[in-house]
Amino acid sequence: MQLALFCAFSILTLLFAAGVVFLRNPVSSAMCLVMSFIGLAALFVTLDAYFIAVVQVLVYAGAVMVLFLFIIMLLDLRAEKQRSVKLAAWVGGGIVIGGFVSCLAKVLASLPALQATKPPLLQPDINDVAAIGETLFRNYNLPFQIIGVLLLVSTIGVVVLSRKELK
């Protein structure tokens, strides 16, 4: 059962991710990305990381992608006109990706520790929001505050960057 669910969600995620890369229309790419994120959130749930799954949907699929779509609409983009396919780019890309995937396969096959299955949890129903909250506010309080400042800074940066030049 678990395996079937895992396979279903992972294939979903990967298919839509491929759609992001290979579809022409940028709006289609954005939609595929949203679906990919939702698939990913499902995978997080299979890993018992409920809080992260919800945050993923809320922030990524809900906020970030909406922003993307806004910008696509703002810039009023059409489908990419077909330009000549540059062979050099495809070969280069192929080399890099091929190399990376082969590394990945080698590592995954060689380490026995990676072949372990999911170990059982102490309590099946854990309140992981509380647990994450405790870790976050107890051990990582300072980085948390800094993240707040970072968000403030990026907000200011966005406002500054998107000002129209006054003629």
Partner 1 sequence: MPTLAHYLLVSGLLFSLGLAGVLLRRNILVIFMGLELMLNAANLSLVSFSRFNLMEGLPNYNAQVFVFFIITVAAAEVAVGLAIIVALFRAKQTIHVEDLDTLKF
Partner 2 sequence: MSTVTAPWIILFTPLAAAVIILFVGRLSKPLSAGLAIAAAATGCVLSWWLYFQPPGPESLQFYWLDFGDAFRVPIGVTIDHLAKVMLIVVTTIATLVFTYSIGYMRTEEGYWRYFAGLALFLFSMLGIVLADNFLMMFIFWELVGVSSYILIGHYFSKDSAADASKQAFIVNRIGDFGFLLGILFFWAATGSVVFADIEKSIPLFAGFPIFLTVAAVLVFCGTVGKSAQLPLHVWLPNSMEGPTPVSSLLHAATMVAAGVYMLARIFPILEAAPMARDVIAWVGGFTCFAAALMATQQDDIKRILAYSTISQLGYMVLGVAVSPSWNEPMFHLFTHAAFKCLLFLCAGSVIVGMHHEQNIWKMGALKNKMPFTFLATCAGALALAGCPLTSGYYSKDLIIAWAVTEKPFLGWLAVATAGLTAFYTFRLLFVVFLGRPRDEHAKSAHESPLIMLIPLACLAVPSLIAGLLVTKGGWFFQIEEPEHVPHILHYVLWALFAAGVGGAWLLYRNAAKDPVSIPAFANRLYIDNVYNWFVKNIQDGGAAVLSWADRWVVDLLIVQVPSKLTWTCGFALRFLQLGNIQAYAFFFGIGVVGLLYFLLSK
Interaction residues for partner 2, span 31-90 (CB under 8 A): 89
What track of x and - describes contact with partner 1 for positions 32 through 71 (by CB under 8 A)? -x--xx--x--xx-xxxx-xx--xx--xx--xx--xx--x
Contacts of 58 (CB under 8 A, 6+ apart): none
Residue 166 C-beta: closest distance to partner 1, Å: 13
Residue 112 C-beta: closest distance to partner 1, Å: 10
* Site membership for partner 2, residue 22 (CB under 8 A): no
Q: Which long-range contacts (CB under 8 A, 24 or more apart) does 141-144 make?
A: none
Cα separation of 131 and 151, whole Å? 24
DSSP state of 47: T
Which option in partner 2, partner 1, none does residue 106 bind, with CB closer than 5 to 8 A by kind?
partner 2
Which option in partner 1, partner 2, none does residue 8 bind, with CB closer than 5 to 8 A by kind?
none
Q: Which of 92, 133, 143, 148 binds partner 2 (CB under 8 A)?
A: 92
What track of x and - describes contact with partner 1 for positions 99 through 138 (by CB under 8 A)? -xx--x---x----xxxxxxx-xxx--x-x--xx-xxx--
Q: What is the distance between the terminal CA atoms of the chain, rounded to a whole angstrom?
A: 64
* Site membership for partner 2, residue 103 (CB under 8 A): yes
How many Cα neighbours within 13 Å face the side chain of 18? Answer: 5
Q: Which SS3 state, helix, strand or coil, does residue 163 take?
A: coil
Q: Which SS3 state, helix, strand or coil, does residue 124 take?
A: coil
* Site membership for partner 2, residue 166 (CB under 8 A): no
Contacts of 101 (CB under 8 A, 6+ apart): none
Interacting residues with partner 2 (CB under 8 A): 89, 92-93, 95-96, 99-100, 103, 106-107
